[in-house]
Structure 1
Amino acid sequence: MRSLSGRFAALASRFRVAFLPGRGYTKNQKVVNQLKPVATYEEIEQQRGDKSILYVDVRSPSEYAKSTIPGAVNVPVLDDEDRKTVGTLYVAGKIDDAKSHGIQTISPRLPEMFSLFQEYTKAYDQVVIFCSRGGFRSSSIFSLLKSLGMNVHRMEGGYKNYRSTINSMIPVLFEKVQFVTLYGNTGTGKTAILEELKKRGANVLDLEACANNRGSVFGGVGLKKKQPHNQKMFESLLVESAAGWKEPLVVFTEGESKRIGQAVLPPSLIDAMQKGINLNIEASLDYRIGQIKKDYLHSNETELLAALDRLKPYLNEARVEGYKEQVRQQDFDAVIADLLVKYYDPRYNFNKKEFSAIFRNEDAAATAEAILEWMRQRND
């Protein structure tokens, strides 16, 4: 498991982002000191070298589910209910009672947690524990494990410290990137083309994957994880994607609105995309219907019907009910064709865009090859 953290130092060097105020870092800089037992996220990444690092998020399951460091595992010190109880006691000024409740809660789980951390320390060079702000939850389990002779570290400042690093990177992350943005009507296979481009070694930014949403009333239909990512997780995944890009920084992405599900594109990303190359992807109606069926029809009927109901603010109710009846009769082609031609296509207005090239897509692999060849000729 090697995510953002495994490539962070090189990323910071590439975009000339200082890890600490007044201190830049390059991948060739010699690291002299060993990592302290308690260190900030910046210090951990400064000194990682070729070490494998596992971040362990000891916040509650709901906090972890909302957003975390990509690749981190969750070993909660307190579950959601106990966290609420401890928090209430702290707010009421009953500090000793809060600590006592926390200790009583964690005690029965200590053998299981100890076994987990034993496995982690054997599998990774460094195991770094963090909570929300580097307080009671991470310090308590860290102190216990250290007292038992286990080689673990604690992130000073916790997830808040990590977020401050991400916030410093986002504004400058895309300054040196040349985006090649794929536009086209719904169902023309833009995401499939991006997947094929990535297979061929191209740099790709899949915004829909980062947002875990496709940006419409059907945005979450058919996705394994139903809840769209919030802004924090979206931004973390943007940075993680950038960490894997190779020189030259030509990056393929898909044209999206400013909002995808719960996430909003950073202004720096929008600006960089607007300065890039625009390609138009076209496809036959039959191909588009097939693509929509492939992406959405592995979900259950209830999910599809609920998504159709969300169209009622935009379409006549009788028309939506007609679509729902066709879905119940499994007449999917008719529903998809009508929605594409009469609803989505008229709404998808990119006539003001200037396109450098148009590609007819009937096979994503072939189209990806054609785009790469076009880019080679263009650069020559």
Structure 2
Amino acid sequence: MSHRGPVPVSERHAFDTVIDARSPAEFAIDHIPGAINCPVLDDDERRIVGTLYKQQGAFEARRMGGAFVAANLARHLQGRFAEQPARWKPLVYCWRGGMRSGSMVTWLRMVGWDAQQLAGGYKTWRRHVMAQIAVLSPQLQMRVVCGPTGSAKTRVLEALAAQGEQVLDLEALARHRGSVLGAWPGVAQPSQTAFETALAAVMETFDLSRPVYVEAESSRIGRISVPPELLQRLRASPCVEIVASPAARLDFLLRDYANLGDDPERLAQQLHALRELHGREVIERWQAWAHERALAPLFGELMALHYDPLYARSQSTHLFQWPKRLSVSAEALAAADIALLAAAVVRLPWPAQALERPLP
């Protein structure tokens, strides 16, 4: 058994289990991918110990905290850890690599397991995530898929992935479609930190010698911010525009956003956010259609009056290679058409892209 010093983040894959010893609330915000949550203090206990520390000092806080920790460790030893073999090798972390993970490691070692502590805890993990995004972003050979609302850009990305291409689906990671009506029904967006953790995890899997397809995005996807290094690389990358008729796009939107008709009141409330842009009369007409579940005229006007003008302005402003964009045309946007579109995107004469190596 090797009771060495704290383990660096780079060696985390050498362990059988990664254990997050923080409270459930901390774990829910963000955690190392694949980690299991075995708190030494739950949310209420952590609050009690913190209050005691402020009011009565460190000794009383440690005495109360020690009792909580002992009870929780006993519960984990009798539950989550009960079936682990003698050769089990867990890696434990807390917020800063301090007393919470240290106490768990001590007890696991007393049992006989080769438990180790992550150096610097979650804070070190967080620095690792941001460093990975900063280092990898400039090296990605991005190919940016563009097109006005209803062009099936996300579905094209999915088809590209199914055809074996490397894809960075930022909207899937952010759990949001990026527009004013883009919230996923019944699904909350992740925290900013959890989004960045998931993003770094995907980026680490990429072969940097192969292209990565990504959808054109603004700096925010719902309430998630795209890291500036990644956004800068995206905006400097070559792009392709999907060209489809308004009729084909409307047909696609009516299929892909059909769920918006399930909650007319919520849809009407979302449209209210556009009041300053379009005025009371237009918004009231759109809200009436929403209440009537009349999605065809609503989506038709949203495309013509809101999304298309916005798209025309934003692409030329934010995509530096927009004047040199490639294009693919689609007569229709059914599943079979989208698969053909994806194949056509890959076959385009994409320009070589200079790799930006970050300074050491």
Q: TM-score, normalised by structure 1?
A: 0.78
2:170 equivalent in structure 1: 207
Question: What secondary structure sits across from 2:277 in the alignment?
Answer: coil
1:246 equivalent in structure 2: 207
Q: CA deviation at 1:66?
A: 1.9
- The one of 214, 226, 229 equivalent to 2:191 is 229
1:374 equivalent in structure 2: 348
Structure 1 position 273 matched with structure 2 position 234: yes
Q: CA deviation at 1:112?
A: 4.4
Q: Which amino acid aligns with 1:358?
A: S
Distance between the aligned counterparts of 1:145 and 1:109, measured in 2?
13
Given that residues 86 and 102 in structure 1 are in contact (C-alpha distance below 8 angstroms), is that contact kept between their aligned partners in structure 2? yes
Distance between the aligned counterparts of 1:377 and 1:157, measured in 2?
43
Q: CA deviation at 1:194?
A: 0.7
Where does the alignment leave 5 or more consecutive residues of structure 1 unmatched?
1-32
2:161 equivalent in structure 1: 198
Structure 1 position 356 matched with structure 2 position 318: no
1:365 equivalent in structure 2: 339
Q: Which amino acid aligns with 1:227?
A: Q
The change in CA–CA distance for 1:236 and 1:375 in structure 2 (over 3 A counts) is: farther
1:259 equivalent in structure 2: 220
Distance between the aligned counterparts of 2:109 and 2:259, measured in 1?
48
CA distances 1:106-131 after superposition (whole Å, capped 9, x unpaired): 55544542221346x56x97432211
Q: CA deviation at 1:161?
A: 0.9
Distance between the aligned counterparts of 1:306 and 1:125, measured in 2?
53
CA root-mean-square deviation? 3.0
Structure 1 position 169 matched with structure 2 position 132: yes
Given that residues 24 and 43 in structure 2 are in contact (C-alpha distance below 8 angstroms), is that contact kept between their aligned partners in structure 1? yes
Q: TM-score, normalised by structure 2?
A: 0.82
Residues 36-55 of structure 1: pairs in structure 2 closer than 5 A: 36=4, 38-42=6-10, 44-45=11-12, 48=13, 51=14, 53-55=16-18
- The one of 136, 141, 164 equivalent to 1:178 is 141
Distance between the aligned counterparts of 2:269 and 2:69, measured in 1?
41
CA distances 1:274-327 after superposition (whole Å, capped 9, x unpaired): 332110012233443344344444365154344223333433244334333322
The change in CA–CA distance for 1:105 and 1:318 in structure 2 (over 3 A counts) is: farther
Question: What secondary structure sits across from 2:275 in the alignment?
Answer: coil
Residues 71-150 of structure 1: pairs in structure 2 closer than 5 A: 71-92=34-55, 94-106=57-69, 109-110=72-73, 112-114=75-77, 115-118=79-82, 121=84, 126-150=89-113
CA distances 1:163-182 after superposition (whole Å, capped 9, x unpaired): 12223333221233221001
Structure 1 position 323 matched with structure 2 position 292: no
Q: CA deviation at 1:159?
A: 0.5
2:358 equivalent in structure 1: none
Given that residues 22 and 38 in structure 2 are in contact (C-alpha distance below 8 angstroms), is that contact kept between their aligned partners in structure 1? yes
Q: Which amino acid aligns with 1:342?
A: L
Q: CA deviation at 1:73?
A: 2.8
Q: Which amino acid aligns with 2:81?
A: F
CA distances 1:209-238 after superposition (whole Å, capped 9, x unpaired): 23333323223232x5313431x2232222
The change in CA–CA distance for 1:378 and 1:78 in structure 2 (over 3 A counts) is: closer
Distance between the aligned counterparts of 2:128 and 2:204, measured in 1?
14
Q: Which amino acid aligns with 1:249?
A: R
Distance between the aligned counterparts of 1:77 and 1:318, measured in 2?
57
Where does the alignment leave 5 or more consecutive residues of structure 2 unmatched?
354-360
Distance between the aligned counterparts of 1:143 and 1:286, measured in 2?
66
1:13 equivalent in structure 2: none
Given that residues 221 and 296 in structure 1 are in contact (C-alpha distance below 8 angstroms), is that contact kept between their aligned partners in structure 2? no
Identical pairs, percent = 30
Distance between the aligned counterparts of 1:101 and 1:322, measured in 2?
61
The change in CA–CA distance for 1:317 and 1:152 in structure 2 (over 3 A counts) is: farther
The change in CA–CA distance for 1:191 and 1:54 in structure 2 (over 3 A counts) is: farther
1:289 equivalent in structure 2: 250
Given that residues 77 and 137 in structure 1 are in contact (C-alpha distance below 8 angstroms), is that contact kept between their aligned partners in structure 2? yes
The change in CA–CA distance for 1:303 and 1:191 in structure 2 (over 3 A counts) is: same
